[in-house]
C-alpha cells in the first residue's frame, strides 16, 4: 500500500487523469439524459464542453494558469451557447482551488473573482422558474459559497507550504552554519595544539642544548657528569622526536610564533593545583590518583591537563549551583586513564551528540582533537543517575 501511495505521489498527473475520466463519464451519463429530454444532439455542444473541462482537471497541476483560462473560456462558451450546467462544471471548483494553492498570484485573484461570479451568472442564465426572485438570489449566494471556500482552502495550503519551505530552508542554513563553525573550531584547536606541542618540543631541544654545552665543558674534567648529560640528551631527544611525529598530523596555516622565551606547558603534576583553584572558586572537587605516578611524555601530560581543565570548566558552566565533581587519574602500565564526573543537572544534548558545548558548541571538539593527537580514546555522555562523565585513555606509546 505504501508503494502505491509513493507511486501516486510521484505521478500526480495520472491521479488527475483518473478523476478526469470519472468526471467525463458522469457528465456523459447526465448529459445524455438532459439532451434526450431537450431533444438536442449531445455531440454538437455538450461533448466538447465535457472534454475540455475534463482536460482542465487532468492538467490542473501541470499548467494551472493555462487551465484556468481554458475553464473560463469554456464557462463563457456555455453561457453563450446555452449549454446548461453539467457534472463536468465541477472542474471550475477544482481549478479555483488549484490556482489558489500553486498558481501565480494574478491567476489566484482571477480565479477568486471568476468563482464568485460563476454562480450568479449561471443563475441569471438558467433561472429556476419555480422560485421567485428572493429564492434565486438565495441560490446565487449558496452556490457562490463553495467557490469562496475552495479559494480560501487553496490559499491556506499555499501559505502553509511557504511556511514549511521557509522552515526547511532555515534548518538547512543553520545546519550549514553549524558545520562551518565546527570546521573553524577544529582548525583553530589544531593550530593551538600545534603551537603547544611545538613549545614542548622546543623546550626539550633547549634542554638538550644546555646538557650538550655542559657535557662539552666537563668532558675532560668530569667524565661521569658528561656521560650523565649525554644520557639526558639521548632520552630528551627521543621524547622530542616522538612529540614531533605527533605534530606531523597537524596542519598549521598562517600561524607565526611570537618572539620571546618559551613557557613550560602544564603537566599532570599541575592538575592538583588546578583542582585547588576550582575548589577556591566554589566548586567541590574530589581528586584521587591511582597507580604509581611516573614521568610521562610531555604531549600526554599536556593533553591530560587540558582535558581536566575543560571538563571542570564545563561543570562550572552547566552543572548548576550545587554541582560537585570528581577527578581520577589512573596510571596503567601502558597508559594514563582520566575520569572526570559531576553530579550536576546534566549537559545539553549538543554536548555529546554534536561535538561539544562551550558557549559556541565546540568544547568536546577540542577534547577529541587533543586525544586523537596522542592516539587516545575519549568517551563523553550523561551519567545514568544525573550529571556528566568524561572518560579518557591516553597511551604512552606514540600513535602511528
Beta pairing, strands 325-331 & 285-290: parallel
Same fold yes or no, 173-247 and 268-395: no
Please indicate whether residue 319 or residue 355 has the higher confidence score (pLDDT): 319
Model confidence pLDDT, tens digit, residues 37-78 = 454 455 577 888 888 989 999 999 889 999 999 999 998 988
pTM of the entire predicted model: 0.47
Cβ atoms of 396 and 335 within 8 Å: the answer is yes
pLDDT at 400: 42
Nearest to 89 by CA among 118, 62, 69: 118
What's the CATH architecture for 268-395?
A: 2-Layer Sandwich (3.30)
What nine digits make up the cell of 357? 558545548
Greatest alpha-carbon pair distance for the chain in Å reads 137
Q: Given pLDDT bands bounded at 50, 70 and 90, which one contains residue 247?
A: low
Strand partners, 390: 340, 380
Model confidence pLDDT, tens digit, residues 33-42 = 555 445 445 5
Nearest to 308 by CA among 294, 327, 283: 327
Strand partners, 287: 327
Q: Can you say how many angstroms the Cα of residue 172 is from the centroid of all Cα atoms in its chain?
A: 6
Which range among 19-33, 300-314, 346-360 shows the weakest confidence by mean pLDDT? Answer: 346-360
Angle at which helices 363-373 and 133-218 cross, to 10° = 40
Model confidence pLDDT, tens digit, residues 167-204 = 999 999 999 998 888 888 877 777 777 666 656 666 56
Q: Where are the domains of the chain?
A: 2-126, 173-247, 268-395
Q: What is the rounded CA–CA span in Å between residue 37 and residue 329?
A: 100
Question: CATH for 173-247, among 1.10.357, 1.20.5, 1.10.3470, 2.40.10?
Answer: 1.20.5
Q: What is the rounded CA–CA span in Å between residue 47 and residue 75?
A: 14
Nearest to 30 by CA among 107, 90, 70: 90
Evaluate if residue 347 carries a pLDDT over 70.
Answer: no
Amino acid at each position: 500500500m505504501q508503494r502505491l501511495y509513493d507511486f501516486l505521489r510521484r505521478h500526480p498527473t495520472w491521479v488527475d487523469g483518473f478523476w478526469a475520466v470519472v468526471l467525463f463519464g458522469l457528465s456523459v451519463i447526465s448529459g445524455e439524459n438532459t439532451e434526450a429530454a431537450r431533444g438536442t444532439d449531445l455531440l454538437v455542444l455538450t461533448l466538447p464542453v465535457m472534454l475540455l473541462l475534463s482536460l482542465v482537471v487532468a492538467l490542473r497541476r501541470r499548467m494551472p494558469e493555462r487551465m484556468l483560462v481554458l475553464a473560463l473560456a469554456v464557462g463563457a462558451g456555455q453561457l453563450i451557447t446555452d449549454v446548461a450546467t453539467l457534472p463536468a462544471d465541477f472542474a471550475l471548483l477544482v481549478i479555483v482551488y488549484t490556482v489558489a494553492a500553486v498558481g501565480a498570484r494574478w491567476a489566484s485573484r482571477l480565479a477568486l473573482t471568476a468563482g464568485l461570479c460563476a454562480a450568479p451568472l449561471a443563475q441569471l442564465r438558467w433561472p429556476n422558474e419555480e422560485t421567485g426572485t428572493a429564492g434565486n438570489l438565495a441560490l446565487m449566494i449558496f452556490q457562490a459559497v463553495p467557490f469562496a471556500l475552495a479559494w480560501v482552502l487553496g490559499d491556506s495550503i499555499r501559505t502553509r507550504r511557504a511556511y514549511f519551505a521557509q522552515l526547511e530552508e532555515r534548518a538547512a542554513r543553520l545546519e550549514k552554519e553549524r558545520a562551518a563553525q565546527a570546521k573553524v573550531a577544529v582548525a583553530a584547536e589544531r593550530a593551538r595544539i600545534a603551537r603547544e606541542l611545538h613549545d614542548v618540543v622546543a623546550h626539550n631541544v633547549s634542554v638538550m642544548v644546555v646538557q650538550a654545552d655542559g657535557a662539552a665543558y666537563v668532558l675532560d674534567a668530569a667524565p661521569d657528569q658528561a656521560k650523565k648529560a649525554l644520557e639526558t640528551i639521548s632520552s630528551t631527544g627521543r621524547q622530542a622526536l616522538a612529540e614531533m611525529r605527533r605534530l606531523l598530523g597537524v596542519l598549521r596555516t598562517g600561524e607565526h610564533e611570537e618572539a620571546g622565551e618559551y613557557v613550560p606547558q602544564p603537566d599532570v603534576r599541575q592538575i592538583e593545583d588546578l583542582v585547588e583553584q576550582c575548589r577556591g572558586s566554589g566548586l567541590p572537587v574530589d581528586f584521587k590518583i591511582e597507580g604509581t605516578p611516573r614521568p610521562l611524555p610531555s604531549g600526554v601530560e599536556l593533553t591530560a591537563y587540558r582535558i581536566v581543565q575543560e571538563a571542570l570548566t564545563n561543570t562550572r558552566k552547566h552543572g548548576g549551583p550545587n554541582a560537585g565533581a570528581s577527578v581520577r587519574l589512573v596510571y596503567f602500565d601502558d597508559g594514563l586513564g582520566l575520569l572526570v564526573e559531576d553530579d550536576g543537572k546534566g549537559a545539553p544534548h549538543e554536548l555529546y551528540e554534536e561535538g561539544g558545548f562551550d558557549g559556541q558548541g565546540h568544547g568536546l571538539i577540542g577534547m577529541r582533537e587533543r586525544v586523537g593527537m596522542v592516539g587516545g580514546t575519549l568517551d563523553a555522555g550523561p551519567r545514568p543517575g544525573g550529571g556528566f562523565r568524561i572518560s579518557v585513555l591516553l597511551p604512552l606509546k606514540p600513535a602511528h
